[in-house]
Amino acid sequence: IQMTQSPSSLSASVGDRVTITCRASQDIDNYLAWFQQKPGKAPRPLIYAASILQSGVPSKFSGSGSGTEFSLTISSLQPEDFATYYCQQYNDYPYSFGQGTKLEIK
Amino acid sequence: QVHLQESGPGLVKPSGTLSLTCGVSGDSMSSGNWWSWVRQSPEKGLEWIGEINESGTTNYNPSLKSRVTISADKSKNQFSLKVTFVTAADTAMYFCARMRPTGLGLDYWGQGILVTVSS
């Protein structure tokens, strides 16, 4: 299953609200996760089942979608939120990731 | 708190075998979860390699299946990855991770280990 994220990169300012989209090449129900990754670090799980926050993840992160269209919204951007974000489907083998969206400070 | 830690050689010769181990603490490999390997390179991005469960059942990415073996040692609470006949294309950061069943996703990751394939 091909996962396509858009945009590939995004510039935003502290305090902004941004949305990243992820499209699956076929129906994956809600088996969709979002991760945040900073340079030199492992991906940090943010969301599973398309919209459920992992433990300890602040509510400024929210996810939505089902089937083939999904989105991740981050509100009130802070300096620590500037990172690369990935979606991942785990509905069918082989599990697959999007190519990433790099969120940069404007 | 669940903690995963990768270990193994950081340099492997072309046509050789890449061998990594992931030590698990804070959870048991007999707990019903799946234990996964993921790698990341600038060329391919994040790539799921495969997984194993407590029964020893494995699932592999078809793109690597002929060269990959994932095994588990429950007595040591660790699982391992072997990739044979490596080339420069196998140079990547390798992560181990826990996959929760019933749709909860990959929730704990190791810090990762860089493996370079070079003579």
When pLDDT is cut at 50, 70 and 90, the band that residue B9 belongs to is: very high
pLDDT tens digit sequence for A53-103 = 999 999 999 999 999 999 999 999 999 999 999 999 999 999 999 999 999
Read off the pLDDT band of B86 (50, 70, 90).
very high
Q: How far apart are CA A4 and CA B14, in angstroms?
A: 32
CA-based nearest distance A67→chain B, Å:
15
Q: Tell me the C-alpha distance between A93 and B49, whole Å.
A: 10
Interchain CB contact of B103 with A (< 8 Å) = yes
Percent of chain A having pLDDT more than 70? 100
Whole-number Å distance between alpha carbons of A58 and B114 = 30
Each residue of A13-45: pLDDT tens digit?
999 999 999 999 999 999 999 999 999 999 999
Q: Choose among A30, A41, A97: nearest Cβ to B45.
A: A97
Tokens 């509510």, located at residue: A59
C-alpha closest to that of A100 among A13, A44, A11, A34: A34
Specify the pLDDT at position A9: 97
How many pairs of residues across A and B have Cβ atoms under 8 Å apart?
Answer: 59
Residues of chain B neighbouring A90 (CB-CB closer than 8 A): 99, 103, 105-106
Mutate to test the interface with A, among B48, B95, B100 (most CBs of A within 10 A): B48
pLDDT interval class at B104 (50, 70, 90): confident
* A91 vs A88: CA distance, rounded Å: 9
Exposure of B64 in the CB half-sphere (CA atoms within 13 A) = 26
CA distances from A80 to A13, A101, B62, B69 (A): 12, 15, 37, 38
Average pLDDT over residues B56-67: 95
Minimal Cβ distance to A100: which of B45, B59, B108: B45
Residues pairing with B69 in the sheet = B82
Q: Quick check: A65 and A32 in contact, CB under 8 A?
A: yes
Residues of B in contact with A42 (CB under 8 A): 95, 109-112
Positive or negative, the CA dihedral B110, B98, B96, A45 is negative
Q: Which residues contact A36 (CB under 8 A, 6 or more apart)?
A: A43, A44, A46, A81, A83, A84, A85
Cα B14 from Cα A62, distance rounded (Å): 44
Q: Is the pLDDT of residue B102 over 80?
A: no
Give the chain A residue whose CA is nearest to the CA of B104. A48
Distance from CA of B60 to the nearest CA of A (A): 7
Q: Which residues of A touch B48 (CB under 8 A)?
A: 88, 94-97
- What is the structure's pLDDT at A54? 95
